[in-house]
A and B are shown apart, each in its own frame.
Chain A
């Protein structure tokens, strides 16, 4: 069991008049090796949730365990935790600072106390993993395109060899092709290394194609938690929260209403296509 949250509450500005509950009674089990999507609109508490997982925010009440150890414990090694639960924030511009990409990626491993040589080795592997071409290694990260910056930022966290990789809106601001590339990269990382991945997004269509489990956050609570098919079957409730299910889910619902014999739990384009073709073959 990698990460376990037990009745976690978090309240902003607790002792002031502006007290505001960001997380309410959140209990989650995140086993090793899963590929999870966390979905919710801005202000739903999803960012607060992930920052609890690597100890950047301490819960107001409740416990969080990583590999059966209580991370809120005073003696718990937070630095170690952050290396093992890697968190990549939304904007790469918030973390890139070195004169070249390679040095920037070395930053994390060096903070862990690794020797220059080991740090460089890790950085090299990480940059290879995210598929950055060699020619960019010694370029300033600020001269790169949005998608490349994102890759370097992910490499910067991967270089710490985390067991869990959390990505906050890794596709924000990228064009459609760039989005596809980054999501493809993450999915490949998961497949090749077996690392646990938590993908935070507000786009259902982005995550539906990749993840095996979706956690829906709304107003600080976990509203739905399950396989994509199961979660999207609540598409009406999702809509009320301001989250839309993938377009194809709606299509199938409407086809069913129009009398077509199709499976409505479809979440990806490919599945939808096959369902519709099937309907035209059997009638």
Chain B
């Protein structure tokens, strides 16, 4: 169900990771993701895994909660692994009917699997430890220099944070509309693809109308509260780097260097 998606959800608790400046966490997440694609051997993944594990420990988020997010991508994960397993040419170790499993296939499937799991875990760790508002603030600040080339950074980040606020509301609303139409014997589950798409109209029309109404209301409410864009705006929670943030940057640098050096050694 929709509730299972932990990606993008915030987990409220106290931890060193929660206290870090969002900019650090955004940079770290990107560094981590890039590092995953640079790694060539399993030792590299071991280091990445260790780094991730330490971060999870530091985050105070229950492991169970983090992995619940996996459920949503489980299918994708299996699919990727299966494709890699069967479709990689190389030395055949096992063959069955028309299918062949190669040594390279096993290796690639494992690597892809690990990469995907790490990628999702790493990025959900960022969202789990950072409030969406903080996240958008961090992005706004990081992308600040782009304002000079007329990129509407403030507007983009405001849009993102509003979108994040309304996602749960609209999801709940979708559920309600679905039930209201099901009470009129609407069928969302069976039929051909075309029919199913057609059957979504009774769901989408009320949803869009409601979303537009909400947008209209919200715009008015923001205007009434003196919103006039990013200029001259102060911050309730301005982002200021602390000592711990510099330490964190240092750790990330150290990790990246290690992974790139060790992880790219030929095996």
Interface residues of A (CB under 8 A from B): 13, 51, 54, 56, 79, 82-83, 86-89, 91, 93-97, 107-108, 111-112, 142, 156-157, 160
Contacts and interface: CB of A to CB of B under 8 A. Distances in A.
A89 B176 contact: yes
A97 B183 contact: no
Given A13-B3, A94-B177, A82 B206 contact: no
Contacts of B186: 107, 111
A142 B205 CA distance: 11
Contacts of A56: 179, 182-183
Q: On chain B, which size bracket covers the interface?
A: 10 to 19
A83 to B, nearest CB: 6
Secondary structure at chain B's binding surface: helix, strand, loop or mixed? helix
Interface string B200-217: 011001100110000000
Most buried by A among B181, B184, B201, B209: B184
Contact of A108 (B173, B176, B185, B210): B185
B180 interface: yes
Interface of B: 3, 173, 176-177, 179-187, 201-202, 205-206, 209-210
Given A13-B3, A51-B179, A95 B201 contact: no
7 contacts: A13-B3, A82-B183, A82-B185, A94-B173, A95-B180, A111-B185, A157-B183
A95 B177 contact: yes
A206 to B, nearest CB: 21
Contacts of A54: 183
B221 to A, nearest CB: 18
Contacts of A91: 176
A88 B179 CA distance: 10
A79 B185 contact: yes
A94 B176 contact: yes
Given A82-B184, A108-B185, 7 more contacts: A54-B183, A79-B185, A82-B185, A96-B206, A97-B201, A107-B181, A107-B202
A156 B3 CA distance: 30
B69 to A, nearest CB: 13
B172 to A, nearest CB: 11
A95 B184 contact: yes
A111 B199 CA distance: 10
Contact of A89 (B179, B185, B210): B179
A93 B183 contact: no
Nearest to B201: A97
B179 A97 contact: no
Contacts of B209: 93, 142
Contacts of A160: 184-185
B171 to A, nearest CB: 14
Nearest to B3: A13
B187 A111 contact: yes
Give 10 nearest A-B pairs by CB, closest first.
Answer: A97-B205, A111-B185, A108-B184, A95-B180, A87-B183, A89-B180, A94-B180, A94-B177, A97-B202, A79-B185
Contacts of A51: 179
| A91, A97, A111, A142: most-surrounded residue (chain B CB, <10 A) | A97
B255 to A, nearest CB: 32
A111 B184 contact: yes
